[in-house]
Amino acid sequence: MNKNFKGLLCIGDPHLASKIPGFRKDDYMEAIFKKLEFALNYAEENQLLPVLLGDLFHWPRDNATRLLTKLMRLFDNRLILGVTGNHDTTEQELQDDDSLSLLAAAGRINLIDQNGPWKGMINNVFVTIGGTSWSNRLPKSFSGTPNSLVVWISHHNICFSDGEDLGVKPQEIPGIHLLINGHIHKPMPSEVHGMTTWMNPGNISRVARSEGVKGFKPSVLKIVPTSQNEWVSEVVEIPHASFDEVFHPMNELYVSSGAEGGSLFIQGLEDLESMRTAGGLGLITFIQNNINLFEKEVADVILHLVKEVCPNEFHE
């Protein structure tokens, strides 16, 4: 295990899954696994300490043994830091039957939101790396390590100036020089508040099919400390396929209403089955777009069943 680190490599929200989420049409598990593998190999080749920003998994449980085995092998003999994301656990706190717990118990990942800050030398600078899970509040200050560059990892809704006005407002956190956030998949411009710089590099995977994702380039963030309170950063693009190669066309899953509505609905379901969207999002979107084909009593029963079958994907 290489401990002569020259920098950090921050890896945002892989959302690994053995089932296909959303409207992806490729081998999703293999595609995202290769991105994570590239990032970790890049980190090793450049003597960077990998830091996962949360949401290693898309679904917290019931991930295929094949995926977990591949991760156990990939993470073996590496120091990897990370925090717990909202997709990593079904409860407020990580549970023993969540997949991330298996990797942590096997020593494949150091969850700094549970184990406390990591401390060590990086590029001849003493660095402290702490973290907060998605369900806990960020610290108001930090004073644990004097004469150290303090980096904090979070997985929160942050009100960056280019984003929605929801969640935590960036402000100075005394004792913390750099806060790096996961959770928000879109890269955000850095903000400086007092001694604290807030950064949000975005994620390495594309789960949602939307216009905003078309020009998105999966990447990771390289941080090289240069002194106790200074660093340089670099965005490193991850090899990836084009939007059209990984997503079904945007105009799929729409059926026009009319006299033939019932038969068109059945045809749409047959088309949906061929798309192999195992996460349930395709089915939910299709039903929500076409529920007006049915009488209210029938529609209510259908929506009730959808909520029961796909509780994690359904949003009214």
Residue 242 covered by a domain: no
Whether 301 is covered by a domain: the verdict is yes
Please provide the distance, in angstroms rounded to a whole number, between the alpha carbons at the two ends of the chain.
48
Query: Contact 206/219 with Cβ under 8 angstroms?
Result: no
Strand partners, 150: 128
228-267: pLDDT as tens digits? 999 999 999 999 988 888 877 766 544 444 444 455 555 5
Looking at the structure, tell me whether residues 257 and 215 fall in a common domain. Answer: no
Top-confidence residue, 296 or 58: 58
Residue 304 DSSP SS3: helix
Residue 244 forms part of a structural domain: no
Please check whether residues 11 and 135 belong to one and the same domain: yes
Do 259 and 166 share a structural domain? no
Specify which residues 16 forms β-bridges with: 57
For residue 258, the model assigns a pLDDT of: 44
More confident residue, 209 or 159: 159
Give the range of the structural domain holding residue 190, as residue numbers without chain letter: 7-237
For residue 167, the domain's CATH number is 3.60.21.10
Q: Distance between CA 170 and CA 292 in Å, rounded?
A: 43
**Is residue 2 within 8 Å of 44, Cβ to Cβ?**
yes
Percentage of the chain exceeding pLDDT 90: 63
Interatomic CA distance for residues 238 and 95, integer angstroms: 31
181 part of a folded domain? yes
Claim to verify: residue 149 and residue 261 sit in the same structural domain: no
**Global confidence as pTM:** 0.81
**How far is residue 200 from each of residues 23, 59, 163, 185, measured CA to CA in Å?**
25, 22, 11, 8
Determine, yes or no, domain membership for 214. yes
d(CA 226, CA 84): 28
Q: Do 209 and 130 reside in the same domain of the chain?
A: yes
DSSP structural state of residue 138: P
> Tokens representing 33?
């696994």
Q: Are residues 195 and 277 in the same domain?
A: no
Does residue 23 fall inside a structural domain? yes
d(CA 131, CA 90): 20
Query: How far is it between the farthest Cα atoms of the chain?
Result: 74
The answer on pLDDT for 272 being more than 90 is no
Residues 124 and 263 in one domain: no
Report whether pLDDT(311) > 70: no
pLDDT in tens, 68-121: 999 999 999 999 999 999 999 999 999 999 999 999 999 999 999 999 999 999
Clarify whether residues 42 and 142 are in a common domain: yes
Mean pLDDT score across all residues of the chain: 86
Q: What is the pLDDT of residue 207?
A: 82
Percent of the chain whose pLDDT exceeds 70: 79
The number of domains in the chain is: 2
Answer yes or no: do 20 and 150 share one domain: yes
Distance, in Å, from the CA atom of 134 to the CA atom of 113, rounded to the nearest integer, reads 9
67 has pLDDT over 60: yes
Tokens of 244: 């059209």
| Whether residues 300 and 216 fall in one domain | no
3-state secondary structure of 299: helix
